[in-house]
Structure 1
Amino acid sequence: MSSNEDPISPIRQAEQHFGIQFPPDYRHFLATQGSMSQFVLPADDYLMINEAAELVEVNEAGEFQERFPGSLVIGGDGSREMLTYDFRHDPPPLVLLDVSAQDWSSAIHQASSLTAFLEEFPQTGWKWDDPAP
């Protein structure tokens, strides 16, 4: 088999497409859990995290790269709010953006990492009033 025929994981394909390397905890989540879509208790908020194979389509559908340079939408609340990495920062924090937002000024900080987000979310649910740093 030639190197052109070697399978590339969906995670690596997405990283190459966006020209970024995912944070280690997000790569681990994608490799082990893959995705999630559920109401999270006790917060009783809906949380969806897309699988790696969906990332290109999700981000291109909303033209997020054009409106939010350095963004990577990874999920959301199943409706209008998009859980988004802000790769303008290192390490990239997670923020919440409405699908109709025009620029980064609408971003609401959620957590400094996916690990922190997943630990806090059952208690806090979506944060609606924490401005992005």
Structure 2
Amino acid sequence: MNANADRIAQAESHFGVRFPADYRHFLATEGSMSRFVPPADDFLMINSIAELIDVNEAGEFQEYFPGSVVIGGDGSREMLVYDFRQTPPPLVLLDVSAQDWSSAIHQALSLSALLEQFPETGWKWDESAGHPVTSPGDR
């Protein structure tokens, strides 16, 4: 196993999840990103594997949002989060001040889908732009 694969496995073990294949591939090949994406001109940041645990512990997201893993955001207040309460885990947007999952705004069903649609759509800011986020009790 190479160093990146070791770090990915350590992060998965830390969070008790298996990251989706496309996210694992992104981490192993691209590593991270932080830039304005034209033509939408929204800022998209995806953290490196080295930052992943620290970012999640700094925001105490695991305590407020069990089953969440923050992987990036808009470079400001919005966090891009995997919702591992669902299989496969969708990507949602949560403000740093969010109190519960009801504030989550669906972005995409996978990282590949997000990266494909992001140049055109940018961030989705309301539920009419995506799927409603449900908690396990809602099913």
Measured against the shorter chain, the TM-score band is over 0.9
The equivalent of 1:42 in structure 2 is 39
Mapped partners of 2:35, 2:80: distance in 1: 14
RMSD of equivalent CA atoms = 1.3
TM-score normalised over the length of structure 2: 0.89
The equivalent of 2:28 in structure 1 is 31
Mapped partners of 1:43, 1:9: distance in 2: 35
Mapped partners of 1:132, 1:98: distance in 2: 15
Asked if residue 82 in structure 1 is aligned to residue 79 in structure 2, the reply is yes
Mapped partners of 2:121, 2:68: distance in 1: 23
Unaligned 5+ segments in structure 2 are 135-139
Unaligned 5+ segments in structure 1 are 1-6
Q: In structure 2, the residue corresponding to 1:132 is in which secondary structure?
A: coil
Instruction: Report the identity percentage.
Output: 76
* C-alpha displacement of 1:62: 0.4
Mapped partners of 2:6, 2:123: distance in 1: 31
* C-alpha displacement of 1:10: 1.2
Q: In structure 2, the residue corresponding to 1:30 is in which secondary structure?
A: helix
Match of 1:98 among 88, 95, 100: 95
TM-score normalised over the length of structure 1: 0.93
The equivalent of 1:62 in structure 2 is 59
Asked if residue 132 in structure 1 is aligned to residue 133 in structure 2, the reply is yes
- For 2:32, give the aligned amino acid: S
Q: In structure 2, the residue corresponding to 1:72 is in which secondary structure?
A: strand
Q: How many residues align?
A: 128
